[in-house]
Amino acid sequence: MLKNKNIVLIGFMGVGKGSVAREVIKHSDYITIDTDDIIESMQNRKIKDIFAQDGEAYFRKLERNVAAWLESSVKNTLISTGGGFYKQENLKKIGTVVLLDSPFEKIIKRIKHHPNALKKLKKRPLLKDLKKAQELYDERRPEYLKVADIVIDVTKKSALECSKELLKKV
Protein backbone atom coordinates (compact mmCIF):
# COMPACT_ATOMS: atom_id res chain seq x y z
CA MET A 1 0.00 0.00 0.00
CA LEU A 2 1.18 3.51 -0.81
CA LYS A 3 1.42 6.01 2.06
CA ASN A 4 0.95 9.11 -0.12
CA LYS A 5 4.55 10.00 0.61
CA ASN A 6 7.78 9.37 -1.25
CA ILE A 7 10.52 7.10 0.05
CA VAL A 8 13.99 8.58 -0.33
CA LEU A 9 16.64 5.87 -0.41
CA ILE A 10 20.06 7.11 0.70
CA GLY A 11 23.42 5.45 1.34
CA PHE A 12 27.00 5.21 0.19
CA MET A 13 27.98 4.39 -3.40
CA GLY A 14 27.66 0.70 -4.14
CA VAL A 15 25.63 -0.17 -1.05
CA GLY A 16 22.84 -1.58 -3.23
CA LYS A 17 20.24 1.22 -3.49
CA GLY A 18 19.39 0.27 -7.07
CA SER A 19 19.02 -3.44 -6.28
CA VAL A 20 16.78 -2.78 -3.28
CA ALA A 21 14.69 -0.28 -5.27
CA ARG A 22 14.11 -2.91 -7.98
CA GLU A 23 12.84 -5.38 -5.38
CA VAL A 24 10.59 -2.78 -3.71
CA ILE A 25 8.80 -2.02 -6.98
CA LYS A 26 8.32 -5.74 -7.67
CA HIS A 27 6.59 -6.15 -4.32
CA SER A 28 4.60 -2.93 -3.94
CA ASP A 29 2.69 -0.26 -5.86
CA TYR A 30 5.61 2.16 -5.79
CA ILE A 31 7.30 3.28 -8.96
CA THR A 32 10.96 4.19 -8.80
CA ILE A 33 13.21 6.93 -10.14
CA ASP A 34 16.90 7.52 -9.63
CA THR A 35 18.43 10.97 -9.16
CA ASP A 36 21.56 10.06 -11.15
CA ASP A 37 19.42 8.79 -14.05
CA ILE A 38 17.41 12.04 -14.04
CA ILE A 39 20.61 14.09 -14.15
CA GLU A 40 22.08 11.97 -16.94
CA SER A 41 18.98 12.32 -19.09
CA MET A 42 18.65 16.06 -18.37
CA GLN A 43 22.26 16.53 -19.41
CA ASN A 44 22.38 13.83 -22.07
CA ARG A 45 25.74 12.65 -20.74
CA LYS A 46 27.12 10.30 -18.09
CA ILE A 47 27.83 11.33 -14.48
CA LYS A 48 31.53 10.61 -14.97
CA ASP A 49 31.59 12.99 -17.95
CA ILE A 50 29.78 15.72 -15.98
CA PHE A 51 32.43 15.37 -13.25
CA ALA A 52 35.28 15.36 -15.78
CA GLN A 53 33.98 18.22 -17.92
CA ASP A 54 32.34 20.55 -15.39
CA GLY A 55 33.49 19.39 -11.96
CA GLU A 56 31.78 18.15 -8.84
CA ALA A 57 30.37 21.54 -7.79
CA TYR A 58 28.38 21.68 -11.02
CA PHE A 59 27.06 18.16 -10.44
CA ARG A 60 25.94 19.17 -6.92
CA LYS A 61 24.07 22.13 -8.43
CA LEU A 62 22.23 19.73 -10.72
CA GLU A 63 21.36 17.59 -7.68
CA ARG A 64 19.86 20.66 -5.98
CA ASN A 65 17.70 21.33 -9.03
CA VAL A 66 16.49 17.74 -8.97
CA ALA A 67 15.74 18.00 -5.23
CA ALA A 68 13.56 21.09 -5.78
CA TRP A 69 11.66 19.33 -8.57
CA LEU A 70 11.15 16.19 -6.46
CA GLU A 71 9.71 18.21 -3.58
CA SER A 72 7.30 20.15 -5.77
CA SER A 73 6.22 17.50 -8.26
CA VAL A 74 6.77 13.87 -7.25
CA LYS A 75 4.50 11.70 -5.10
CA ASN A 76 4.17 8.01 -4.16
CA THR A 77 7.56 7.22 -5.59
CA LEU A 78 10.62 5.39 -4.35
CA ILE A 79 13.46 7.78 -5.07
CA SER A 80 16.86 6.16 -5.26
CA THR A 81 19.60 8.76 -4.79
CA GLY A 82 23.29 9.25 -5.50
CA GLY A 83 25.55 8.82 -2.45
CA GLY A 84 25.91 12.58 -1.90
CA PHE A 85 22.27 13.52 -2.38
CA TYR A 86 21.53 13.22 1.36
CA LYS A 87 22.97 16.74 1.82
CA GLN A 88 19.96 18.40 0.20
CA GLU A 89 18.41 20.91 2.58
CA ASN A 90 14.89 19.84 1.63
CA LEU A 91 15.59 16.08 1.86
CA LYS A 92 13.02 15.45 4.59
CA LYS A 93 10.42 17.45 2.70
CA ILE A 94 10.79 15.11 -0.26
CA GLY A 95 9.80 12.02 1.71
CA THR A 96 10.63 9.42 4.36
CA VAL A 97 14.39 9.00 4.37
CA VAL A 98 15.60 5.39 4.42
CA LEU A 99 19.32 4.67 4.86
CA LEU A 100 20.90 1.47 3.56
CA ASP A 101 23.75 0.98 6.00
CA SER A 102 26.84 -1.19 5.63
CA PRO A 103 30.49 -1.10 6.72
CA PHE A 104 32.84 0.30 4.05
CA GLU A 105 34.76 -3.01 3.59
CA LYS A 106 31.53 -4.87 2.84
CA ILE A 107 30.53 -2.28 0.22
CA ILE A 108 33.87 -2.62 -1.57
CA LYS A 109 33.65 -6.42 -1.39
CA ARG A 110 30.13 -6.26 -2.85
CA ILE A 111 31.27 -4.14 -5.78
CA LYS A 112 34.37 -6.26 -6.46
CA HIS A 113 32.33 -9.45 -6.56
CA HIS A 114 29.73 -8.02 -8.91
CA PRO A 115 29.81 -9.43 -12.47
CA ASN A 116 30.02 -5.82 -13.77
CA ALA A 117 32.59 -4.73 -11.19
CA LEU A 118 34.78 -2.76 -13.56
CA LYS A 119 31.84 -0.86 -15.01
CA LYS A 120 30.55 -0.08 -11.51
CA LEU A 121 33.91 1.34 -10.46
CA LYS A 122 34.43 3.26 -13.70
CA LYS A 123 31.12 5.10 -13.56
CA ARG A 124 31.80 6.41 -10.03
CA PRO A 125 34.50 9.10 -10.07
CA LEU A 126 34.57 9.28 -6.27
CA LEU A 127 35.45 5.58 -5.95
CA LYS A 128 38.63 5.87 -8.04
CA ASP A 129 40.88 6.26 -5.03
CA LEU A 130 39.90 3.77 -2.31
CA LYS A 131 41.69 5.62 0.48
CA LYS A 132 39.81 8.82 -0.36
CA ALA A 133 36.57 6.85 -0.69
CA GLN A 134 37.10 5.41 2.81
CA GLU A 135 37.63 8.94 4.16
CA LEU A 136 34.47 10.10 2.44
CA TYR A 137 32.59 7.16 3.94
CA ASP A 138 33.91 7.92 7.45
CA GLU A 139 32.88 11.55 7.06
CA ARG A 140 29.43 10.75 5.71
CA ARG A 141 28.29 7.83 7.81
CA PRO A 142 27.38 9.89 10.93
CA GLU A 143 25.58 12.37 8.67
CA TYR A 144 23.63 9.58 6.95
CA LEU A 145 22.55 8.28 10.36
CA LYS A 146 21.52 11.75 11.49
CA VAL A 147 19.28 12.46 8.51
CA ALA A 148 17.69 8.98 8.23
CA ASP A 149 14.18 8.29 9.50
CA ILE A 150 14.71 4.55 9.03
CA VAL A 151 17.97 2.58 8.95
CA ILE A 152 18.30 -0.79 7.26
CA ASP A 153 21.44 -2.79 7.98
CA VAL A 154 22.06 -4.50 4.64
CA THR A 155 24.84 -6.82 5.79
CA LYS A 156 24.01 -10.51 5.42
CA LYS A 157 20.69 -9.68 3.74
CA SER A 158 19.61 -10.06 0.14
CA ALA A 159 18.10 -7.13 -1.75
CA LEU A 160 14.74 -8.91 -1.46
CA GLU A 161 15.04 -9.18 2.34
CA CYS A 162 16.03 -5.50 2.57
CA SER A 163 13.05 -4.51 0.42
CA LYS A 164 10.65 -6.43 2.66
CA GLU A 165 12.12 -4.80 5.75
CA LEU A 166 11.80 -1.39 4.11
CA LEU A 167 8.16 -1.90 3.18
CA LYS A 168 7.38 -3.07 6.73
CA LYS A 169 9.07 -0.04 8.33
CA VAL A 170 7.85 2.87 6.17
- Residues 41 and 36: their CA atoms lie apart, in Å, by 9
82 touches ligand S3P by CB under 6 A: yes
Of 19-27, 79-87, 99-107, 154-162, the segment contacting ligand S3P by CB under 6 A is 79-87
36 touches ligand S3P by CB under 6 A: yes
CA dist 44 to 38, 47, 83, Å? 10, 10, 20
Nearer to ligand S3P, 1 or 142 (CB): 142
Is residue 25 exposed (0-12), middle (13-18) or buried (19+ Cβ within 10 Å)?
Answer: middle
16 is in an annotated binding site: yes
Assign 89 to helix, strand or coil: coil
Assign 28 to helix, strand or coil: coil
Of 1-9, 77-85, 100-108, 147-155, the segment contacting ligand S3P by CB under 6 A is 77-85
47 touches ligand S3P by CB under 6 A: yes
Q: Nearest 5°: CA angle at 104, between 56 and 156?
A: 130
Indicate which single residue of 40, 84, 110, 170 sits in contact with ligand S3P (rule: CB under 6 A): 84
83 touches ligand S3P by CB under 6 A: yes
Alpha-carbon torsion 59, 60, 65, 67, what sign?
A: positive
16 touches ligand S3P by CB under 6 A: no
Three-state SS for 7-19 is EEEECCCCCCHHH
Nearer to ligand S3P, 2 or 22 (CB): 22
38 touches ligand S3P by CB under 6 A: no
Considering only residues 121-150, where is the footprint of ligand S3P by CB under 6 A? 124-126
Question: Which letter does DSSP use for residue 116 in this model?
Answer: T
141 is in an annotated binding site: no
167 touches ligand S3P by CB under 6 A: no
Binding site for ligand S3P (CB under 6 A): 13, 36, 47, 82-84, 124-126
